[in-house]
Structures are given as C-alpha cells and as structure tokens.
Chains A and B, each alone.
Chain A
Amino acid sequence: MKKKSQERQADVLGTGSAGQTGLVFFPAFDWAISPSHPEREERLLYTRDQIFEEGVMDLPQIRQYQPRLADPIDIARVHFCVPDIETQATEAHRIAAGGALVIADALMKGEIKNGFALVRPPGHHAMRVVHGNRGFCNINNEPIMIEYLRQKYGLKRVAIVDTDVHHGDGTQDIYWHDPDVLFISFHQDGRTLYPGSGFTSETGGPLARGTTLNVPLPPGTTDEGILFVLDKLVLPVLEEFQPELVVNSAGQDNHYSDPLANMSFSARGYALLNEKLSPDIAVLEGGYSVETALPYVNLGIIMAMAGIDYSNLYEPDYNENNFREDPANIKRLGEIVRELSDVFQQRHELVKAARQTLGPLFQRNRHIYYDTDQISEKQEESLKICPDCPGYLFIGSEAVGPMGRHRVYCISIPLQSCPRCQREARDFYLKMRRQPPKSYDYLYLQDRAADHYRQYDYGSQKERVTHS
C-alpha cells in the first residue's frame, strides 16, 4: 500500500533526491513547562549529542531542514482555541507544528522519501477544543500537519499510528468522526497510566466506526509483544485501508527506562517497528528518559527510516533476554487483535447500521480534565447524522480552572461534508451569533470545506476571520 503511494509520488514529482530522509531537529533549548518538569529544556540535549557525534546529520541519506512557524490558519483547521490561538499556541508550539509542516512539504515536493520531525513540545493529548495544556500538550502537531496536507495537496486518506506509551486521546478526539483518517494507538493499559483511556471499545463515532482502533498493552509488554501487535493487527489493517500517507506519532516512552511508564521496549524494537511500519512521516511525541532512552531510540528511528543498518544499535545496559514476551501475554494480545480486526472488517456495515438506527442527531457528553493546567471541562458534542456525508459537528463546552470560566460553542464542517450539511452548519453559525440560547463567551466556525475559520466574541461583538 505504501509502496504504491511512493511510486505514484515518484512518477509525478520525479525521483531526484527522493532517496533521502528529511529531518527537522528542533529541541527548543529555551522552552520548558517548568524547570524540573519532564518537558524541559534539555529533553533532547543528549539526543543531539548522540546524533551529532555519530555523524548522522552528515550522512548523504539525511537531509536536515529548518522548522518554521505554523500559521494561525494551520491551527484553526484543527483546534478551537480558547480564548484565542495566541494564548494556547506560543511560539514554541507553532515551531514544533511548523517543523512537521516543513517535513510534509519536503515529502510532497519529492525532495525526500520520508521524514522525521524531531520536535518539542509534543501534541497528541491536545483535543479539538483547547482550554489549556493537558498531558504536556497544547496543540496537536500531527492533525495540524494532516489537515494542511489535505488542504494544500488534496490528500484524502491518512493513517496515524500512535506509538507513544500514553493513549493519543487528543488525536483520537480530533479524528473520532472522520472515516478517512485511520487512527491506531497502542499504549500502556489506561487503567494503569495517564490519560486513563484507549480501551478496545473506543472504535470511533457512529459514522466513522472502525477507523479508530485502540490496543491497551499490559504493563511490562516487551519488544516481542509490541511487534506482535504490529504484525498481526497494524500492518494488515493498513494494507486494507490503503492510506495515501502513514504517520507515526512517535512517542518514545514505551522504553524500559522511561520514568513515567512501565513498559519494556528497546531502541532496537523501535527501529524494527519503524522499519516494518515504514511511515512516510514520523513526529516525535513523548519520551522522558532523556539520557538513557531518547538518544538511542531517536537514533534507531532515524536509522530505520533512512535504511541504515542498525544491528549494532543498543543501549549500554541492553540484554536481549529481557525482551521476550510471556506467552500468556501474547495470548491476551491475540484476543485483542482478533476483536479489533473484526471491528475494522465490519466497519462499513457498522456505519450503515448506525445511519439507519440513529435519529437526526447523535450526542455524547464528556468530562475532560487538563492535568497540567488543572482545568475541568464539560462538553456536549452533537453530530448531525447525514445520509450522504460524515455529518457536521457542534460542541458546547464549559471549562473552569485557574483562568476562570470559559463557555464556548463550536461548529465544525468536515472536508468531506455534503453541500446541504455545509449550508446548514453555516446558517447555524449565523443563527447562534444572533441569538445564542445560552450565554457563551465565544462562538467558532471551523469550515474546512471552505478552508475558512471564524471566531466570534460575544462580549466585544467582534469576529475574527482566518482564511487562506
């Protein structure tokens, strides 16, 4: 499946230097959440030492790029930022997202065969509505990149494989109702780790059922267990889904030395995973064993993506006997793989059935906690059930925290929406602007179909419009 998309690119764009792996290395040496927070200045310091000392940046297979600042529109395509984009996306966040955009452009222009945005701060816990920082994340780098690619280059079908040890709940939220973006996350079981979600029952919204797949891994899962999931579930599902682009949301905290999690994955396991997965783009997420894991894992991912022999890559305390899996565990993983494969296989029937049985609206109520900023959010999300398209979405959200209380209302029109849904949603925005049924601080319209984004401030009665 991947091969096809690469061949297609090579045909269109000419092969040129397409043998290279693009790299944006942006360690943000002047940014931290707080001085002793895991997400701090020196998180990628030892990675820099390792990849520079190994001369990786000088290899002909590697092409280094400079990141840029993501524009407000890039963020507006994905997020409803409260009170505004500038508050949630500081320069550091915009550069991290911009690093992914630079790699995406280089790939689409055919300058590179694949690329790795080694950037921080990370993003995969940032959801559609953003009131603050959760799980070290404010804005979500991969969806920002994917929506940019969809608008600019017309990509449609994309797969994200989230290999971070924590459930990528932000990315899941953003693509929950999108049947054209396959989101697969494997992570340490949510009963034992932040953010406490990502169970097998979470398989996507009613009109996108089966394109969200979650594999909760028991604590202590090793290379063998993770690669089992990759071989038995991830690769076959990708083969069938036929995405135009595969993105690795590349967290590195499955590593056995990570201080925030309890898994037993090695740098070599990460390299093998990336060789098999062969992502078009990898974007760094978490990973907080800054000295004993990150230098080796990052090197492993780079080497695997660039096709460099990594058989001599291992941590100083690596012992291959520590990475064999308990047979009982493999059996349990096998059950999960079967369960999720079934859901994926039946996804079209499940969506069809949902359309027939559901009324005109599908609602879910959620409570979302922002651990970093101690904000508590209540959300009521409604999906318009449409016979012709994935439907449009409207969300009422109220958040309380140190910043005070914010009440917002958000309307989102997906790229694939039908003309009638687009019209309805735009009219709905105008009606909400005139006569909100309750008191709100801000109203948003995320019109991906028109690539047009609005934020209305009920207080000052001013509207901010962002478009390309």
Chain B
Amino acid sequence: MPLEVSLRYPCETVFSGPAASVMGAFALTMDQQTSVVVDIGGTTTDLALILGGKPLYASRGAVLGGHYSHVRSFALRSLALGGDSALRWNGEIISIGPDRLGPAACFGGPVATPTDAINYLEGGKLGRPELSAQALKSIAQQAGLTVEELAQEVIRQVNGRLVASIKDMFKTWEQEPAYKIWEIVNKRKVKADLVVGIGAAAGSFVPALAKQLGCRALVHQYSPVANALGAAVARPTLSLLLHADTRQRAYHLNLEGISGEFNPHSQLEDAKKLALKHLQQIARERGMGRYADRYEFFLEEQFNMIRGWSTTGKQFDVGVQIAPGVIDGFEGVQP
C-alpha cells in the first residue's frame, strides 16, 4: 500500500516482511504454478503457498501470538529453525534451535549451526571454514559421531522438519472449512510444482527439500535478495467487504465507515457492482487508481430473509480486492 495509507492503517502492515518474500517468489516465477515459498533466515524459516499463481490468504486473518486478528494477510507459517539456530547434543539427540546464540561459528559465532554444517559439507565456502569444523567437532565428539555424520544428520533434520511443515500446510488448506456443496465436491488435492527458495541459505537446503516433496526446486541468483525484490515490485492491493440488506434498504462497507442506501429490488449482481464501484473509488483516492481494473471477487453470498412463510428481503455479502501482483512495467527476471 502507499506509504501515507500505511500511516493511517498501520496494522495492515503486519507481516509485510514475509509477505514481501511471497511476492518476491512470485516475481521470480511470474506463472500459474503451485509453489511452496521457503524463506530461510537466521533464526526462523517462513513458509507460504502460491496456489496456481495466487498467494494463499489466511482464512481467518493474520495470527499474532496465537491470536486471530481480522487483518487480511497471506497464510504464513514460521518455524523456529534457521541458518543460525544453535546445535546441541542433549545426551540423546542432536537438537537444532529454537534459539539463536549468534552468527554461525564460521562468522565468529559461539556455537555450531546448520550454516556450519552446510559449510563443512560444501567444502568451506563461507567465512572461516576451520571454525565451522571445530565447532561441529565438539558436538560430534559428545554424540559419538564423525563431523561428516553430524553435518548430514543436521541437514536431514532441517529438511525433515521443513517437509513435515509444508505437508501440514497443504493439509490444513485442504481441510479449511467449506460451507457449500460445490466447494466440497470440487476441492481437489493440490500438489506443489515448485519449491522457491528465498534467502542466502536457500541454495543449500531447497534442492534436497524439493526432491523429498517430489517437485522442482527454484533457487535463483536473486534468491538471496528476493525479499527486497518483492517489496520493490509488489503492486499495492486493497480489499473491501460489503454487506447489504434489502429490508434495511442499506449497505455498509468495512472501510472508512462508508454506508448508504440500497435499492430493495437489488440482486447479487447489483451488490457486486456497488462493491466494485467503491473499491475502485477508494483505490483512486489512495493513489492506486492504475490498478483498479485488476480486481477479483473473493466472497459472494446471498440469503433470503424469511418471516413466517414468505421472503421479506435479501442479504448480500460481497468481498472484492485488487489482486496481489507485480507493478506495471515489471516483466520478470532473467532465468
């Protein structure tokens, strides 16, 4: 959204960081595929889904500290697992994270991390590789493993947890409550075509991850900066909900306290036209008029109101938004 709008609605910027990664992944692919976006950071890994070229929204709004909010956001999942997660031997198993004690050992950090494990396995391209080996060795000795075995175990665990979370994310989406017959009948199982890696460590994890998920991996030369790319090229979006009631002869929007008179003979098509008219008008007012024709309806409901045995009115709920996408002029990246 434009900067001045975000000042008026700061809560709308929640999750703008991970959202930028999703849009970055879209900017790298620019197609209609179903992608898993894996953004591996230092402390956490963020996961998101792009289904058939459309980022998946959280059905009940952004979740903050375990609480649902009504802020519309992408469906995101964050794992306490990153390139700098601390490795430990707890006497029984190798644990990874959930905390970060500092950078990877090869960059002067206090403890071995998954980054050190990769560094070791890939021949020491990062920082001071001897520090990676040294930090890994102290844990390997406690666990009775060779450094090589430890490093592989770490990669296996990281991938295992990511695969489990990704599968769970798909399952959660498949089990999203549906309230209409056609939704149940038409809901197919989806399968990922692609895993898009974001962040500097993506190249080390994503190919193996994709293999385990049975799909292709995309690690682009811009993967390390895809978050910034997403922030730069995402076009502004706006979504609006309209509730109309023919008995009250009134409609209300969820934006800017707008309400007005509603013709009692209206049909669903009229309610949709009205919602779109307001969306486009607000878009223009917010300086995003050039994208006002990239709209899509995400909610259409109508119900009869019955009193006694006859219909006395109708209620409509319509949701319309400027679809997420990239700004005009951006045509994708070189492969």
Contacts and interface: CB of A to CB of B under 8 A. Distances in A.
A415 B241 CA distance: 53
14 contacts: A26-B179, A30-B180, A35-B304, A35-B311, A36-B306, A36-B309, A36-B310, A36-B311, A42-B303, A42-B306, A66-B177, A66-B184, A67-B184, A91-B185
- Give the 6 A-B residue pairs with the shortest CB-CB distance, closest first: A42-B303, A30-B180, A66-B175, A29-B180, A91-B181, A29-B179
Q: For the complex, would chain B's binding face be called helix, strand, loop or mixed by DSSP majority?
A: mixed
Given A41-B304, A68-B184, A91-B185, A48 B175 contact: no
Contacts of A95: 181, 184
Given A26-B184, A30-B182, A42-B303, 9 more contacts: A26-B178, A26-B179, A28-B180, A29-B179, A29-B303, A45-B303, A66-B175, A67-B184, A68-B184
A55 B185 CA distance: 27
Contacts of B175: 65-66
Contacts of A92: 181
Contacts of B311: 35-36
Q: How many A residues touch the partner, as a band?
A: 20 to 34
A28 B178 contact: no
Contacts of A45: 303
A92 B181 CA distance: 6
Contacts of B310: 36
A116 interface: no
A71 to B, nearest CB: 14
A307 B239 CA distance: 38
Nearest to B301: A29
Interface of B: 60, 68, 174-182, 184-185, 301, 303-306, 308-311
B180 A25 contact: no
Q: For the complex, would chain A's binding face be called helix, strand, loop or mixed by DSSP majority?
A: loop
Interface of A: 25-31, 35-36, 40-42, 45, 48, 55, 58, 64-69, 91-92, 95, 259, 290
Given A25-B177, A29-B301, A65-B175, A40 B306 contact: yes
Nearest to A68: B184
Contact of B68 (A58, A67, A68): A58
Nearest to B183: A30
B310 to A, nearest CB: 6
B190 to A, nearest CB: 14
Contacts of B308: 259
Nearest to B308: A259
Contact of A30 (B177, B181, B306, B309): B181
A26 B311 CA distance: 23
A41 B184 contact: no
B179 A69 contact: no
Given A36-B311, A95-B184, A66 B304 contact: no
B38 to A, nearest CB: 26
A30 B311 CA distance: 17
Contacts of A29: 179-180, 301, 303
A31 B181 contact: yes
Contacts of A35: 304, 311
Contacts of B178: 26, 66
A69 B178 CA distance: 13
Contacts of A26: 178-179, 184
A66 B176 contact: yes
A259 B68 CA distance: 37
Contacts of A64: 177
Contacts of A69: 184-185
Nearest to B182: A30
Give the one of B68, B304, B305 with max A CB within 10 A: B304
A67 B180 CA distance: 11
Contact of A41 (B174, B177, B182, B303): B303
Give the one of B177, B301, B305 with max A CB within 10 A: B177
Contacts of B60: 58
B177 A28 contact: no
B300 to A, nearest CB: 11
A143 to B, nearest CB: 22
A55 B182 CA distance: 26
A45 B303 CA distance: 8
Contacts of B174: 66
